[in-house]
């Protein structure tokens, strides 16, 4: 089993930045692709970003490309999501997730069913 714990959420002004962290414990962290999803009030959970086992490939949802950056530090068993130029529509609960699959297909990780373990979520609120 893998346990995930997010941190770094909070209230930020539009145009500002936040860095989310996700600490993993349990099985070997480096064996998993790591992703971020988010869920806004009244909406379904949606894919945000993913980084593969090797860390050489990343992918982002269209609305965050150029603004968000995902990275990982396997020595610290931690994955990060750097969020810049935040907009009000980025307001959501952000979830960290781990996948046992190792895929290079473009849209493979867009489906939350490809992820095996989930954190509890951290709230991000962007004010005007």
Edge-first strand listing for the sheet containing 78-83: 2-7, 18-26, 78-83, 68-73
- Residues 124 and 95: their CA atoms lie apart, in Å, by 11
- Neighbouring C-beta atoms of residue 128, cutoff 10 Å: 6
**What are 29's strand-pairing partners?**
none
Task: Pick the closest to residue 18 from 125, 119, 107, 97 (CA basis).
Answer: 125
pLDDT computed for residue 16 by the predictor = 98
| pLDDT (0 to 100) of residue 26 | 79
pLDDT for 125 equals 98
Question: What number of CA atoms fall less than 13 Å from residue 51's CA on the CB side?
Answer: 21
Task: Name the maximum alpha-carbon separation found in the chain.
Answer: 41
Gap between the Cα atoms of 9 and 36, Å rounded: 13
Tens-digit pLDDT profile for residues 63-106: 999 999 999 988 888 999 999 999 999 999 999 999 999 888 88
Of 49-53, 58-62, 82-86, the range with the highest mean pLDDT is 82-86
| pLDDT of amino acid 98 | 94
């Amino acid at each position: 089993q893998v346990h995930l714990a997010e941190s770094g959420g909070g209230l930020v002004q539009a145009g500002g930045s936040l860095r989310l962290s996700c600490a993993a414990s349990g099985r070997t962290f480096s064996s998993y692709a790591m992703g971020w999803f988010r869920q806004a009030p009244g909406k379904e959970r949606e894919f945000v970003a993913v980084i593969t086992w090797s860390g050489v490939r990343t992918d982002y949802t269209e609305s965050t490309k150029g603004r968000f950056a995902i990275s990982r530090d396997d020595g610290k068993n931690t994955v990060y999501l750097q969020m810049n130029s935040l907009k009000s529509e980025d307001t959501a609960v952000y979830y960290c997730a781990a996948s046992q699959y190792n895929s290079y297909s473009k849209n493979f990780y867009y489906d939350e069913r490809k992820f095996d373990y989930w954190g509890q979520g951290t709230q991000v609120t962007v004010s005007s």
